[in-house]
Amino acid sequence: MRRLLTVILGIVLSIPVLAQMTIKDGMVQIADRHGINFVYDPSLPVDSPYNGRSLSRGSLDDNLASLFKGSGIVWEKRKQFVVLTAAKPEIPIEIYATISDRVPDADTLLAAVKTDTKRLDRSIGHLQTGLEGIRGIISPLGEGDPIRWAQAMPGVTTGADGATAMYVRGGNSGNNLFSLDDVPVYGYAHILGLTTIVPSQVMESAALSKGGFDGAESNFTSAHLRIVSKAPSERQQTSFAINNFLVSASAEGPISNKLSYLVSARISPLSLEYKAVRGALPSILSGLDNFKATVGDAYAKLQYKITSRHTLDASFLGSIDNYGFDTPDSSHEVMGWNNMVGMLRYRWEGDITKFDVTASINKYGSQQKQDKTFRETDNHLSLQSNLTEYGLKTGLSHAFLNGRFTLGEGINLRYATFAPGQVGEETRSINTLLATGWLQGEFKIPDHLYVKGAFRLNHFRNYDLLPTEGLAKPFRVVPGKHTNPEYGLSLKWNIAEHFAFEATYDKMFQYYHTLEGLPIGWSLDMIVPTGESVLPESSEQGSVNFAGEFGAHSISIGGFYKRLENLIYYKYSQALFSGALSTWEQDVELGNGRSYGLEALYEYAKGDWYARVSYTLSKTTREDFPSFYDGAPFHARFDRLHVLNATAQWKGLTATLILQSGGWENGAAETYKMPFLGTDFEADFFSGINNYHMPTVIRLDLGYQFNFKTGKVDHTLNLSICNVTNHFNPFMLYYDTNTESWKEMALLPIMPNLSYRISF
Amino acid sequence: MNKYLAICFCFIPLSFSSCVKDVTLDAKEKPRVAVVCILNDEDPVQKLRLSFTKGASLSSAPLLTEASAILYEDNVFVGEFQRAENNDWRLEFTPKPCLSYRLEIDVPGYDKITATQSMPMERAAVRSVKYTLFQNCIEPWSGWDIRWDDLHDMGYESWPESEEYPDEEYLYVLFSTKSPVWVYAMNYNTDTGKRELAERICTDSYPVSNENAYDAVYVPLTLEAPNPPYKLSLPYEQKYGETYHSAHTMELYPTLSNKPLHDYFLRFTEETADVFYLSGSFNGKYCKTQDGIWAEAGEIAEDEGFLVFSTVSEDLDKYLLEAYKQIKINGSTDFSSIYIRDNLYSNISGGIGIFGACISRKYPWAAAYSYVDSGIPRSEIIEDVDGYIDPRMMH
């Protein structure tokens, strides 16, 4: 291993570096490219050399971050101006951003202050990062993705090692909202969960909200991972990238003065790679036979700037994932999912008023099939879940009292069709309508206090689609309607100059459910709607937090308590695979959940050094399910007592340590001898569910990123090794029909990764 | 640069390597105490079995050697079970119908284990009716007692005594039951020297519950008549003249032909409408009645099988039904069965298992073959000498 790292570093250090230029040169380049003006004190060290990456590509934020990194200069965007100030040893706590088109007075800045681009943007219940922060995460694809970034945050636990499942403060993965430009994406996992379907080339930022939700956020009960796509570049840019699993291409730029575009496509050569390796090194592939994969995604965006205040955006995202393979017992497994998300948005941004309206269509489908020969009999099991959603929403906000008070309101309408069932069988479709009206108020006393209150009123209806013979209308209304108010409160109080107290309270409802209780080894998301007997899930959560910034150090420590109600659990796993699935609502049981814990986040950023440690100590249980433990509490499947993520970065080198307590699976039966009509047989006794403690996940990842330029082409190379210690961290469990026993499979043994990107 | 990139891309093959490990999913919970005690008034010694459950990663369950088990009858102390061999504990005692019993067990390191049970009110009234088969008789069943006399007077001789082809068959009738009655057969296996539960059982009686209906019908075993040729019985000789047939077939309980088979047992929940036959995968020698024709089994030799009619308590009935389901699941070829996590019915507080009660009696059975093929159309022979038409022929 040491020899391997030496070789890698040797290769890396032999690469030629960028030519010298000054920070001021970079400022001129950025001003020309992005059409902005710099406002700064001439005493700032703008004549210092700049040794970073090329500034001819990337977003404004990325280029500013790269230009001023480590220079002692702090920058802040104010519409068409960028204000530069010197980094001060005592840095005020971040508050909020106000909107104004006047030239700002540097001494009276009310805006958020960045001291280092790697540092998270952290506010009440909210964490945000830019593209550099996302790509800096080590991952099996060579560069990170938003889910992996979010998984490293406090309060977040993961599912199987390497997968993109995310459990926040005790909620299930189906309790999270993953959105792209505020349109939900229901099947965001890509390549068996190694990455997400949104390519990094189209991302502007990622934000994780765990509490203190905005009024416009609804239909989830845990967390919101919000991806914002970037605006197309004002100059023509093209890029290509390749990593272990994906080949991608993207292009963006202006079509006319007002119209610009952004397109991206990715495809996976997994099948070709498998065949090549199978021929050359068959012994490596002992766990996979006949592997086939069809993986790809495409994104397109058109932006039309009607005026400087009016914008029209149209975008499309499509993805496909299909995998087939044989397990060592000659069973054949097929799994796949696909997404299609289309969006049309109009926005108007005034000085103190903003308005937007969005229409969207969202299609998600997933399936899993197993063909097994069990005791000399062929068995075919399958499950599928399909969801189609049409959405229309509006939002209006207005600032008063010189920006100290903001009022927002809006409406969100969603019409959806659900179709869970068996693959190839006729499934019963269920139509639903969810209407949400929301109201939000924010009040600020700069440098001292921030308060936000949000209110939502939801109305949900379930239209059970019946055969239409003889009926004038294609559906009839069944009594599956619910009206539920939601509310939230956020508070931030700057106790002292470097110290703040934060608190949140949220009451949320969710009407789309991901069924828990799927059998071991079945991992697709079976999404079903609220109905007459399946009530809306709800959560009630409170959190408190203390945050401080002391020079290069920032720390936040807090705790949360959450209570979940009307969680649904599918009781009869075997019935999932029969026609009984069409009556799934009769086979679920409702119960509750509870989660509480401590969250801590520490960051250090100085010069070329950056370190972040995130730790969560929590307990998550499920309870009040009559069929399990007579309603007594039991472990949630992802109840991990300790979760530690530690990252250290120096120049381009990154080391990440992940330590997580094991999750919980259904334990195997105990056996005992029992009589039956004069004979004896071996009976099974299941003492409970989620009672087998999976082993601790330990993973050490090392990576190196470097940039260089040849002519007009910018190169970025990421080299990394995931799981340097080759620790066995199970990814999935499956049942070996030959030995009639369970086996666990790890997806991430020691795995070198490579990602190479060029742009021009 | 190309050379460096080529080196880097060689890492790609390692991306496909994956590891597989066995996992027992043993939750390592504290073993439960399993209790099995089925009170039976037929036995003068009641048995109690105590054991621990075995975890998935263990090769054998821990031994339960220390326990105190006391039985109460209507809250009156009856006695304490004494440890015998293996996990068996014994108490010399005969329970009585309608009385209630309580079991209290203390196992070191566990909370007190208790269970209660009531004996069934009465035993099911079951009669086995023995009929004698006749040689040279073309009717596929034997007649009533009175007809035996008539036929004997007519000069017909009874079937020669033969172990292989018994001259008796049995019919049964179930009178008056207030609790479910389970009927099953125990074959004697000459290879193993033990009695085993017969896998299939069939009857022409109703009502019988269908939880254990097997997807097949009864097909009688056949054999060639041992003493060809045979003569037609007197009335038909008069009609058709003396006729000899060179070959003819006999079937094992032909009236059960095409009746649905059941797995292991028949479960009666009310008295039967009429007498009925029983047959199935009954192999080997079976015991006979002790005397007369209206009787239970006589002395049963070690190498003889027998039928059991068992009136069970409500708890035992529930347990047996679930035990049957679990046995079927254990042997199922349906892969989705591995996802079933249902536990057996248990009425043990502080433990698992069954404290049941039954009133059981053993009954005889005979492998009786009857003629079915005489070469004469069946419609011609349903009418006997006196014009009496036996309704059992009419199906």
Instruction: Write the pLDDT tens digit of every residue in A688-702.
Output: 888 999 999 999 999
From CA A567, how far away is CA A565, in angstroms rounded?
6
**A689 to B341: CB separation less than 8 angstroms, yes or no:** yes
Give the Cα separation of B301 and A561 in Å (integer). Answer: 72
Look at A670 and B54 and tell me if their CB atoms are within 8 Å: yes
Among B3, B7, B20, pick the best mutation site for testing chain A contact (most A Cβ within 10 A).
B20
C-alpha distance from A701 to closest chain B C-alpha (Å): 15
Q: How far apart are CA B218 and CA A281, in angstroms?
A: 58
pLDDT value at B232 more than 60: no
Quick check: A109 pLDDT over 60? no
Asked if B341 lies within 8 A of A666 by C-beta distance, the reply is: yes
Query: How close, in Å, is residue A626 to chain B by CA atoms?
Result: 14
pLDDT digits (tens, 9 = 90+) for A342-354: 999 999 998 889 9
Q: How close, in Å, is residue A45 to chain B by CA atoms? A: 36
Cβ contact (<8 Å) for A681 and B327?
yes
Split at pLDDT 50, 70, 90, the class of B5 is: very low
CA distance B277 to B220: 13
Band of residue A318 on the pLDDT scale cut at 50, 70, 90: very high
Instruction: Please tell me which of the candidates B16, B182, B334 has its beta carbon nearest to residue A379.
Output: B334
CB–CB contact B16 A273 (8 Å): yes
Give mean pLDDT, residues B90-117: 95
How much is the ipTM here?
A: 0.82
Q: What is the pLDDT of residue A502?
A: 95
Among A281-285, B235-239, B312-316, which stretch is predicted with the lowest mean pLDDT? B235-239
Model confidence over B261-281: pLDDT tens digits? 999 999 988 776 677 889 999
Highest averaged pLDDT of the listed ranges A45-54, A213-222, A327-336: A213-222
**Confidence at residue A506, expressed as pLDDT on a 0 to 100 scale:** 97
> What average pLDDT does the segment A80-104 reach?
48
Q: B330 in contact with A at a CB cutoff of 8 Å?
A: yes
What does the pLDDT average to over A524-549?
87
User: What is the chain B residue with the closest CA to A270?
Assistant: B16
Supply the DSSP symbol for A351.
S
Our CA-based measurement puts residue A150 at a distance from the nearest CA of chain B, in whole angstroms, of 24
Which amino acid is it at A656?
T
Q: What is the pLDDT of residue A51?
A: 82
> Dihedral of CA A167/A172/A176/A178: which sign?
positive
- Helix or strand (DSSP H, E) at B109: none
Lowest mean pLDDT among A51-65, A238-252, A365-379, B236-250: B236-250
| A742 min Cα distance to partner chain B (Å) | 6
Rounded distance between C-alpha atoms, residue A80 and residue A38, angstroms? 9
Q: What tokens does A555 get?
A: 């720390």
Give me the residue label for tokens 């009429």. Answer: B274
Instruction: State the pairing for strand pair A499-510/A512-514.
Output: unpaired
H-helix or E-strand spanning residue A40: strand A37-40
Chain B CB contacts of A751 under 8 Å are 14-15, 17
Interface touch B14/A750, C-beta < 8 Å: yes
Residue of B1, B5, B18, B196 best to disrupt the A interface, most CBs of A under 10 A: B18
The DSSP secondary-structure symbol of A108 reads G
CB pairs under 8 A between A and B: 218
Nearest to B53 among A672, A746, A747 (CB): A672
Q: Could you tell me the two tokens for A512?
A: 């789309």
Locate the chain A residue with the closest alpha carbon to B310. A677
Return the closest-CA partner of residue A246 out of A179, A320, A180, A166.
A320
List the single range of A622-631, A646-655, B369-378 with lowest mean pLDDT: B369-378
What pLDDT does A369 receive? 82
Measure in Å the smallest separation between the Cα of A34 and chain B Cα atoms. 33
Strand partners, B40: B358
* Per-residue confidence (pLDDT) for residue B218, from 0 to 100: 93
Q: Which residue has the higher pLDDT, A95 or A746?
A: A746
Find the range with the poorest average confidence among A31-45, A466-480, A592-606: A466-480
- Tokens 């971040």 -> residue: A94
Task: Report how far apart the first and last C-alpha atoms of chain A are (Å, whole number).
Answer: 35
d(CA B266, CA B262): 7
Give which of A673, A677, A739 to mutate to test B binding, by max B Cβ within 10 Å. Answer: A677
Task: Write down the mean pLDDT value for chain A.
Answer: 83
The C-alpha of A261 sits at a distance from chain B's nearest C-alpha, in angstroms, of 32
Confidence band of A210 (pLDDT split at 50, 70, 90) = very high
Q: What is the pLDDT of residues B172-203, one digit of tens each?
A: 777 666 788 999 999 999 999 999 999 999 99
The reply to whether residue B51 touches residue A684, judged by beta carbons under 8 angstroms, is no
Write down the pLDDT at residue A267: 94
Of B14, B20, B326, nearest to A743 by CB-CB distance is: B20
The residue of chain B with its CA nearest to that of A273 is B13
Tell me what the mean pLDDT of segment A288-302 comes to: 89
Distance from CA of A302 to the nearest CA of B (A): 35
| Residue B304: band (very low, low, confident or very high) from pLDDT cuts 50, 70, 90 | very high
For chain A, say whether B76 makes contact (Cβ under 8 Å): no
Q: Do residue B14 and residue A756 have CB atoms under 8 angstroms apart? A: no
Mutation target for A interface from B16, B29, B182: give the one with most A CBs within 10 A. B16
Residue type, A128: Q
Q: Using the beta-carbon criterion (under 8 Å), do B15 and A375 form an inter-chain contact? A: no
- Chain A residues close to B5, C-beta within 8 Å: 756
Region A175-203: mean pLDDT is 89
Q: Is B358 in CB contact (< 8 Å) with chain A?
A: no
Q: Are the beta carbons of A669 and B264 separated by less than 8 Å?
A: no
Which positions in chain A touch B334 (Cβ < 8 Å)? 374, 377, 379
B141, B204 contact by CB (below 8 A): no
Q: Do B15 and A370 touch (CB under 8 A)?
A: no
Q: Which of B19, B309, B318 to mutate to test the interface with A (most CBs of A within 10 A)?
A: B19
Lowest mean pLDDT among A266-280, A405-419, B345-359: A266-280
CA angle B203, B204, B209 (to 5 degrees): 65
> CA B121, CA B177: separation in Å to the nearest integer?
9
User: Partners of B64 in the beta sheet?
Assistant: none
Per the CB < 8 A criterion, the answer to whether A497 and A90 are in contact is: yes
Q: Is A141 a residue whose pLDDT tops 90?
A: no
Mean of pLDDT values over B198-220: 89
Distance from CA of A621 to the nearest CA of B (A): 17
Is A604's pLDDT higher than 90? yes
What does the pLDDT look like over A381-439, one tens digit per residue?
777 888 999 999 999 999 988 888 999 999 999 999 988 776 666 667 888 999 999 99
Q: Judge: A744–B32 Cβ closer than 8 Å, yes or no.
A: no
In B246-329, at which residue ranges do the beta strands (DSSP E only) sit?
A: 249-252, 260-263, 266-268, 278-280, 306-312
Q: Are A125 and A490 in contact (CB under 8 A)?
A: yes
Structure tokens at A733: 């469990």
**B338 has pLDDT over 60:** yes
Residue A737 in 3-state DSSP?
A: coil
The minimum CA-CA distance between A618 and chain B, rounded to whole Å, is 21
Most B-contacting residue of A292, A329, A676 (CB-CB within 10 A), to test interface: A676
CA distance A176 to A189: 13
Judging contacts by C-beta atoms under 8 Å, the chain A residues touching residue B11 are 244, 752-754
